[in-house]
Structures are given as C-alpha cells and as structure tokens.
C-alpha cells in the first residue's frame, strides 16, 4: 500500500511558501525537481518541527531496513505505531493505487481536488548504511481505507490537514490518545482519483505525461 507518490511542484520555494517554511527552514536542502513517479529508496523532502516551533524541510530516504537486515519497510500500520518515535509529515501532492487484473493493471492518481499539497503522516529515524555512514530514513503510516479507496485497496496513507501538522510533528507532544485520533481515514471529499498512464507501472518512467 502506498508504494508510489508524486511531488510535481517546480521548486523548493513553492513548497516552502505553501507550508509556511522560512528560508532558514530550507537551508542545506539540495536542488529540487518535479517528480511524477517516486518510488521507495528515493530521496524525498520531509517536513519536521524543530523545538516544537520552526518547520524544517529535510531530504530523507524512503524506506527503513529492519533489524534483521532483510527487506525494506516503506509503510507502517498506524494501529501499531510507536508513540514516542520521531514523527514527520511526508510532502506529496498525490499517490498511486492500482486496479484490474495482474496483466493489465490500471493506475489511479489520488490527490486533493484543489491540487493542494497532500501531507502524509510519517515516522523517521537515523539509520546506519553498510559503509558505516548514517542517513535519515522515513516510512509512511497507513490506516483503513475510506469509501473512495475501498474499491482499490483496504488500506490508505494517513492524510494530515494543516491544523494537525504541528501537533503531529511536535517532539514534545506525546499524548498517545491525541496522536492516535489523527490516524484515521481521510474524510469524504478530501481526495479525488483520476486514471493515470499505465507507464506509471515502471519506476523508470517519470514525467507530466504520466
């Protein structure tokens, strides 16, 4: 579930403006380009809250390697999320889900009807690479499907609205009941679904024609 996302904004400045992130909160972020088919292991912009006050955009890698070193964890069931794990918001403007038979899979692009940014609840951490260096990685939290998603999949990413963002990301806010109250399906009307090009099926393809 939620194995492909999009972020089609042309630059970091447009994203920072939409999220009310200051220039200081973008310092050190590398060049950002629009992407229409983002897959796990990609480096992606993530929103965090520093000292419960300042929003920061940081590059992180999608996917966490489990302790046994096997496979890659990209999603996590919100029902089992660790309340004291560092929390973030994954900056996207949509995600893909598929329907149809295995030999003719049809992707659909889920997005906000007004094409505003779509912020997903996530967790992040520092992880050691095989060469001993450290990098920040993130995973996306999922919840049960809403009515729009149910015909495609029984799970969907947790979508946060602007009023929830800081409360979700704040490192000092660890009220488990309040945090879990945010981890629910997106309300009716929050998302729209449009057919996308079958070329989305290959991670090698990326462009507005998708």
Query: What's the CATH number where 35 sits?
Result: 3.90.1680.10
Does 113 score more than 90 pLDDT? yes
Q: Where are the alpha helices (DSSP H) in the chain?
A: 12-19, 162-169, 176-181
Q: What is the pTM of this model?
A: 0.95
207 in any annotated domain: no
202 in any annotated domain: no
Summarize pLDDT for 67-109 with one digit per residue, the tens. 777 789 999 999 998 888 999 999 999 999 999 888 889 999 9
140 in any annotated domain: yes
What's phi and psi for 94, nearest 5 deg? 165, 175
| Confidence grade of residue 2 (pLDDT, cut at 50, 70, 90) | confident
200 in any annotated domain: no
Residues 6 or more apart in contact with residue 69 via CB below 8 angstroms: none
45 in any annotated domain: yes
> Which is it for the CA torsion 26, 61, 75, 195, positive or negative?
positive
**Domain carrying residue 103:** 5-193
173 in any annotated domain: yes
What's phi and psi for 106, nearest 5 deg? -110, 115
Say how many C-beta atoms besides its own lie within 10 A of residue 11's C-beta.
Answer: 12
pLDDT at 1: 67
**What is the pLDDT averaged over residues 104-127?**
96
63 in any annotated domain: yes
Tokens of 137: 């990685």
203 in any annotated domain: no
Q: Residue 110 in contact with residue 97, Cβ under 8 Å?
A: yes
> Which is it for the CA torsion 175, 176, 181, 183, positive or negative?
positive
* Domain count for the chain: 1
């Amino acid at each position: 579930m939620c194995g492909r996302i999009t972020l089609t904004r042309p630059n970091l400045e447009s994203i920072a403006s939409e999220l009310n992130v200051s220039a200081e909160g973008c310092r050190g972020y590398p060049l950002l380009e629009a992407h229409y088919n983002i897959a796990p292991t990609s480096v992606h912009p993530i929103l965090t809250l520093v000292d419960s006050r300042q929003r920061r955009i940081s590059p992180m890698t999608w996917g966490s390697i489990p302790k046994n070193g096997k496979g890659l964890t990209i999603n996590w069931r919100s029902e089992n999320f660790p309340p004291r794990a560092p929390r973030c918001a994954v900056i996207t403007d949509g995600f893909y889900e598929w329907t149809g038979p295995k030999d003719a899979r049809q992707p659909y692009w889920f997005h906000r009807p007004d094409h505003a940014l779509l912020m997903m609840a996530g967790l992040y951490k520092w992880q050691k690479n095989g060469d001993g260096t450290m990098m920040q990685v993130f995973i996306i939290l999922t919840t049960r499907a809403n009515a729009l998603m149910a015909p495609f999949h029984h799970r969907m990413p947790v979508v946060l609205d602007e009023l929830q963002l800081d409360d979700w990301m704040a490192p000092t806010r660890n009220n488990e009941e309040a945090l879990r109250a945010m981890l629910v399906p997106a309300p009716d009307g929050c998302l729209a679904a449009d057919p996308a090009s079958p070329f989305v099926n290959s991670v090698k393809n990326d462009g507005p024609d998708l």
